[in-house]
Structure 1
């Protein structure tokens, strides 16, 4: 039973939910435009407030609200997760990891691999290339499957990404970046999808 009753309070409730979602997306857009990842903190705060709002037992949403919230949730998931991941990675690595030319990072080949010496030990090369594009696809797939009601597919998404990156994780900084980036990206995508899911309950 929803505590919100009456046509006007229900309308104001859904307008507030949509305004917060639009504000979150606007903050993400500003972060992209101004190249300032720290603005993602504002977007995260707006998303959190919106999640609290939709977690209240809510009246049935009109179809236009469902459609708008679904589109906004997908946009927030896909566009915001990359900025959030970059921001968290910069905080965790203190900006000491060198970016590569193709979206990855520059690492030094480990001296040993298992019990044998590597022929190219000490050589620097780029790993985790294409991370931005993979992140967009990962968050799109994650949010899409959650919104569609198939949370089991998230395990498949994680498995595909892990298998695809396995050979690039010899260096400690690559493993750290992979784990932190993936967890941040998935957390952002699932939180965005939860915005739609809770609103539809």
Structure 2
């Protein structure tokens, strides 16, 4: 094996595994570094594709390991990355609820707060699994169906500007993350 092959096919999976572990252990309020650690392999893969740098796998098993780890990072890394993007975009304006949602003022004008967008982490994982799978099997219409289902399912909770903003930013960040990793796998 050449030095470049060792770097890509041995060090690469180790970096991906570390990024997956950081994503899985980062919790609901990840630090920016932990939440965006997956940007490193994403950028490296993107640059390799952009400059047509191909490093053949010395063993098909290593290529399979890389494919699985990239796909897993596309799913589990999206949660922390989305949390960081939401935190940066909303400047920590949202008050977190007990069930993973956000507290917003009731639209009836009684001054009460209620929790909306509960279950976002679970929905995000399912959404990213669907996006990664859809791209890998080449069925992009599945992504459109996921967007439609998610929008319809959350429609009743989107009556406040705060909820709409978080929904749009979170959905786009999550899907872009999953799509970028799946595209790297599909194009490599």
Tell me how many residue pairs correspond in the alignment.
183
Secondary structure of the residue that 2:99 maps to in structure 1?
coil
Map of 1:58 onto structure 2: 54
Q: In structure 1, what is the Cα distance between the partners aligned to 2:14 and 2:184?
A: 12
Task: Determine if the alignment matches structure 1 residue 16 to structure 2 residue 18.
Answer: no
**In the aligned structure 2, how far is the partner of 1:185 from the partner of 1:121?**
34
- Pairing 1:27–2:23 present: no
Task: Supply the distance in 1 between the matched residues of 2:66 and 2:184 (Cα, whole angstroms).
Answer: 8
Alignment CA distance shift 1:198-1:84 (3 Å): same
Matches within 5 A, 1:55-134: 55=50, 56=52, 58=54, 63-110=60-107, 118=108, 121-134=110-123
* TM-score, normalised with respect to structure 2: 0.85
The 1-side partners of 2:145 and 2:56 are apart by: 32
Using the alignment, how far apart are the partners of 2:144 and 2:106 within structure 1? 30
Distance in 2 (CA, whole Å) between partners of 1:21 and 1:185 is 22
Matched, 1:149 2:138: yes
Partner of 1:164: 153
> Secondary structure at the residue paired with 1:68?
helix
SS of 1:42's equivalent in the other structure is coil
Q: 1:37 and 2:31 equivalent? A: yes
Instruction: Identify the range of structure 1 (39-48 vs 94-103) with the bigger mean alpha-carbon deviation.
Output: 39-48
The alignment partner of 1:122 has SS state of coil
Alignment RMSD: 2.3
Assess if the C-alpha contact under 8 Å between 2:71 and 2:185 holds in 1: no
Equivalent position SS for 2:114: strand
Matches of 2:39 and 2:72 in 1, distance apart? Answer: 14
